[in-house]
Amino acid sequence: MPIIVIAEFNDEPNFIAPDLKFRIQFIKDDFTKFTALEKAGIRQAETCIILCDKTHGRSDQDADARKILAALTAEKLNPNVYTCAELLNREYGSH
């Protein structure tokens, strides 16, 4: 099963274990965008894991809002996907 990472990075990370590198595909894009999620194959995905994005000086509230937006977008594109999002503030967990 492939692992697809959507992130706004400059270079692909070089700390990935060699035995996993062939399974990981990187997409340089904004993970909240429909097009990025579709390019990653969200419509066929079984699981979507959304991790903290504190790049570009984003506040905790903004980072959580982006993760919630990405989770809702993923579930709209694929109602059967299991979504897990890392939130910085537990208050937003009900979303």
The label of the residue with tokens 């062939």 reads 22
**Pick from 95, 62, 73: nearest CA to 6:** 73
Cα gap 41→21, rounded to integer Å: 19
CATH number of 3-94: 3.40.50.720
Q: Rounded to whole angstroms, how far apart are CA atoms 63 and 51?
A: 10
Q: Tens digit of pLDDT for each residue in 37-59? A: 999 999 999 999 998 877 778 88
Tokens representing 11? 């270079």
58 contact partners, CB below 8 Å, separation of at least 6 = 66
Per-residue confidence band for 3, with pLDDT thresholds at 50, 70 and 90: confident
Q: Regarding predicted confidence, which is higher, 79 or 5?
A: 79
User: What integer pLDDT is reported at residue 25 of this predicted model?
Assistant: 86
Domain ranges, ordered by start, for the chain: 3-94
The C-alpha atoms of residue 20 and residue 77 are separated, in whole angstroms, by 27
The mean per-residue pLDDT over the stretch 12-38 comes to 86
> Position 24: which residue type?
I
